[in-house]
Amino acid sequence: MQRILFGDNQFFGVNHMSEDKARAQAMRFPTTGSVIEVLDAAYDEGIKVFMCTTHERIRDVCGYMRANAGRYKDFQFYPCMPYGVKYANAVTEHGALGALKMLLPQEGALAAILRGGVSVARREVKGLAELLIDAEMKMFEGLSTPVIFLQNLVTDLLLGLGFSEAFRIFAKHVRDRYQAEPGFITMNLPRLLDVLEGLGIENPIVCASINKIGFRMCGGIEAYEKAIATRTFRPIAMSVLASGAIPPREALEYVCRQSGIRSIVFGASSRANIRQTKHLIRELSALQPAPLRVAQG
């Protein structure tokens, strides 16, 4: 994986601290062209990986990348699925069966419908899960997707329900059908690592909130630092700025001093911010690792 990944929260009005900021961000990107402009800025700054949800507007971004493949020959997508709002809206507008038909892959759609129907009738989760993964991946056809993520919305729900086998189903299908590595996004890093280890999923790619104030870090900062320093997995740090609560240099210094972190994902709305963040990560990554905190008492 590359050290620096570009995220998409800013394009779709996601800010975990402020709804006003989220709305303002979304208004800056009313068209696919406005999104492409920022992606081009990141690409020209040497950031070649776009870690994105399966939001409907990403479909148009994918179409643009396919139509201009010469410019983006080494560009990679890291899809993060499912995008829950998309499913909720589709069911509201088209009903459950209509939503399923609408979201199915075009190739073999009838077979997929039948397979999905049989799975539901037999209460077999595996077939339906594979069907939905294929539906989400439809928009990325012909593009490079070396890592495919399960969104934290589902990851953490499955953790809470204790339905660990779903992680194995996801990982196997991603590897077998897409020759990609499975990734998992979570707000509970220590717990997820325990479950994945128990399933035999070795050296997993896990994206989690990692920041110096413990924002969206279930289990606490010390547990995260210990996991990063001592456990075998490939961590990606997100929410490093805690949605703007921490100044960039201070935030990135904390993350970059943890040598176990493989990659950092961030979002930005301008070339200047992209360039500044990239340079800070490069500069601060040369720092000596921070000592491991040990809980007192």
Between 26 and 168, name the one with better pLDDT. Answer: 168
**Residue 180: which domain range?**
4-81+147-284
Residue 42 forms part of a structural domain: yes
Question: In this structure, what CATH number is given to the domain that contains residue 244?
Answer: 3.20.20.100
Residue 23 forms part of a structural domain: yes
Task: Give the tens place of pLDDT for each residue, 90-148.
Answer: 556 766 556 656 655 554 444 554 455 544 444 456 777 888 899 899 999 999 999 99
Please work out, in degrees rounded to the nearest 5, the angle formed at the alpha carbon of residue 239 by the alpha carbons of 14 and 223: 140
Give the model's pLDDT for residue 127.
76
Residue 113 forms part of a structural domain: no
**Which residues does 217 contact at the CB level (< 8 Å), separation at least 6?**
187, 189, 208, 209, 210, 211, 224
CA-based nearest residue to 132, from 183, 96, 156: 96
Task: Give the tens place of pLDDT for each residue, 223-270.
Answer: 999 999 999 999 999 999 998 899 999 999 999 999 999 999 999 999
Residue 297 forms part of a structural domain: no
Task: Give the tens place of pLDDT for each residue, 262-280.
Answer: 999 999 999 999 999 999 9
Domain count, the chain: 1
Q: Is the pLDDT of residue 173 over 50?
A: yes
Residue 9 forms part of a structural domain: yes
Task: Give the tens place of pLDDT for each residue, 46-84.
Answer: 999 999 999 989 999 999 999 999 999 999 999 999 876
The residue type found at 102 is M
Q: What is the pTM of this model?
A: 0.86
Average pLDDT over residues 177-188: 98
